[in-house]
Structure 1
């Protein structure tokens, strides 16, 4: 099955494609947007949930979202129309790592650091798009505990592939950013995210998937559920942080 379709379907119930609740998202955005911000860029925007809510909170700001997933961008444009934001946002189909444009006041990159080869590469990339004194919202995974063999197997990871929280923040410091605020996803946020992922995909498999894809789709949902519950649950953490450019 196409990976873009899988992700778009799996995030129908939880368009914030990260283990972050609506209340946590609102707090992060309140602390993210600097006074007078005019332009925002979301690298790996998915269905646009972060960017669209930022634009609703910062009424003087316009935004651009970039993603490789056509289904996710279709959902983002539809949601922008529903929220009456089409005149203030553009969604671009393309590789976030190859995106070019004028510097902006705010850069978002949540759950998309793989597009830049990891966390350190993402910090380097977002700086290219940021005006001096701008702010970044960056979200990425880290090891909360362990990892044990089951967690590594579930994620197809190797020891040391992800840092712990202290290691993640050390990379922020080394790149010349100052953390201004951060949110550590709770166990409840993780559980809600994962149940929504597997639940939305299961419902799609049972009610919408082509007949030839139904069995494979159900098996994918079962596999993901098992990888979460028997693998990385309680070991994988997620940090979403507001970073200040201190150049």
Structure 2
């Protein structure tokens, strides 16, 4: 597959999912993951930013996390930058409904061109969550381009797909070829998704250093419970996970997960890898 064909496959994959993408909010596992991510963002990111910070949601999709920052920080302003017009339309409608459309600009484009598209702009915070850096052509260059848009002291926050979890997941459903491929740093979770870049601690450290960023936080979560096959789909949940996360168990598991997410060396166990990096002042 050529680079152009790959880009078209990624764009088509997300364009088709735009209208239903937020349905993942109904899956108990992803509710847990989102709650952990929101807690980490409040403790490790929002506490370090001015009230009127400017943010860049790099690969913002339907605006799930633009909504988080815009609502948590009502004086903030931002840019949501995404590849697909269909995703952006959902994000724009969400911003109108929730009352922050006047504080967020929506831009369509490939992250390979984000530096040029936003030339002259600067941000206190840039973030990319879940599979965004999985699907760019050159993640190392993308990190450099986004880092260059940060103000001195600005933060880059990422939530990245893990090499180890991808291999574990595919072994668990009997796809050994996919598991072996995942260990090379490329892989996927379903037959319908394009291959994506996967990350381990070493790659994360090297790519941030090459971009001139200092890593302040490198962790991972969830660590004690992992998604099943159904959680790779937009609808439905794995029955076992529904039972495990039912009722008061949800809060108990959240408390345990939140306790261990900062444990030394935990990153390698996480479903996703969480990083907070800083552009030196």
TM-score (norm 1): 0.71
Aligned to 1:32: 45
CA contact (8 A) 2:55 2:124 kept: yes
CA contact (8 A) 1:151 1:235 kept: no
For the pair 1:50 / 2:65, whether they are aligned, the reply is yes
For the pair 1:93 / 2:118, whether they are aligned, the reply is no
CA contact (8 A) 1:178 1:245 kept: yes
Write out the 4+ residue segments of structure 1 that deviate beyond 6 Å after TM superposition. Answer: none
Alpha-carbon distance in structure 2 between the residues aligned to 1:69 and 1:189: 32
Q: 1:45: how far off?
A: 0.5
Which consecutive unaligned segments of at least 5 residues does structure 2 have? 1-8, 187-197, 238-267
Alpha-carbon distance in structure 1 between the residues aligned to 2:199 and 2:145: 19
CA contact (8 A) 1:12 1:200 kept: no
Structure 1 146/112 Cα, relative in aligned 2: closer, same or farther at 3 Å? closer
CA contact (8 A) 1:10 1:196 kept: no
Aligned to 2:178: 153
Q: Give deviations 1:125-176, integer Å, cap 9, x for gaps.
A: 2112111110011122222268469355279757244443344234334433
Out of 29-38 and 84-93, give the one that drifted further.
29-38
CA contact (8 A) 2:59 2:132 kept: yes
Give the 3-state SS of the residue equivalent to 1:117 in structure 2. Answer: coil
Alpha-carbon distance in structure 2 between the residues aligned to 1:109 and 1:184: 15
- Higher relative contact order structure (alpha carbons within 8 Å, sequence separation ≥ 6): 1
Aligned to 1:128: 148
CA contact (8 A) 2:221 2:269 kept: no
Which consecutive unaligned segments of at least 5 residues does structure 1 have? 203-233
Q: 1:200 aligns with which of 227, 230, 235?
A: 235
CA contact (8 A) 2:53 2:76 kept: yes
Q: 1:109 aligns with which of 128, 138, 152?
A: 128
Structure 1 15/51 Cα, relative in aligned 2: closer, same or farther at 3 Å? farther
CA contact (8 A) 1:8 1:71 kept: yes
Q: 1:53: how far off?
A: 0.5
For the pair 1:191 / 2:220, whether they are aligned, the reply is no
Structure 1 178/130 Cα, relative in aligned 2: closer, same or farther at 3 Å? same
Q: 1:14 aligns with which of 3, 10, 24?
A: 24
Alpha-carbon distance in structure 1 between the residues aligned to 2:18 and 2:225: 19
Give the 3-state SS of the residue equivalent to 1:12 in structure 2. Answer: helix
Q: Give deviations 1:160-215, integer Å, cap 9, x for gaps.
A: 444433442343344332333344132676427x635425289xxxxxxxxxxxxx
CA contact (8 A) 2:160 2:273 kept: yes
Q: 1:66: how far off?
A: 0.9
Aligned to 1:3: 13
Out of 111-120 and 129-138, give the one that drifted further.
111-120
Q: 1:103: how far off?
A: 1.2
Alpha-carbon distance in structure 2 between the residues aligned to 1:189 and 1:50: 23
Structure 1 187/150 Cα, relative in aligned 2: closer, same or farther at 3 Å? farther
TM-score (norm 2): 0.63
